[in-house]
Structure 1
Amino acid sequence: MKIKKVTNAPEFFKVVDSCQGRVELLTGEGDRLNLKSKLCQYLSMSQIFSRSEELHLEIVASEEKDLQKLYKYFSQYE
Structure 2
Amino acid sequence: MTPILSLHNIDVTAFLAVLDTCEGNVYLVTKEGDRLNLRSKLCQLVGLTKLIEGGKIAEASIICENKNDESKLFRFNFFGDTGNAKVG
Q: Aligning the two structures, in what range does the TM-score lie when normalised by the shorter sequence?
A: 0.7 to 0.9
Give the Å deviation of 1:15.
0.7
4+ residue runs of structure 1 moved beyond 4 angstroms? none
Distance in 2, Cα, partners of 1:49 & 1:6: 10
State whether structure 2 residue 87 is matched by structure 1 residue 45: no
Q: 1:6, 1:12 within 8 Å by CA — same for their partners in 2?
A: no
Q: 1:6, 1:49 within 8 Å by CA — same for their partners in 2?
A: no
Give TM-score, length-normalised by structure 2. Answer: 0.73
Structure 2: 5+ residue stretches without partners: 81-88
Q: Which has the higher strand share?
A: 2
Counterpart of 1:63 in structure 2 is 66
Give the Å deviation of 1:75.
1.2
Give the Å deviation of 1:32.
0.6
Structure 1: 5+ residue stretches without partners: none
Out of 58, 62, 74, the position equivalent to 2:77 is 74
Give TM-score, length-normalised by structure 1. Answer: 0.81
Q: Between Structure 1 and Structure 2, how many residues are aligned?
A: 76
The percent identity for this pair of structures is 32
Matches within 5 A, 1:31-42: 31-42=34-45
1:14 corresponds to which letter in structure 2? A
Q: Which has the higher helix share?
A: 1
- CA RMSD after TM alignment: 2.0
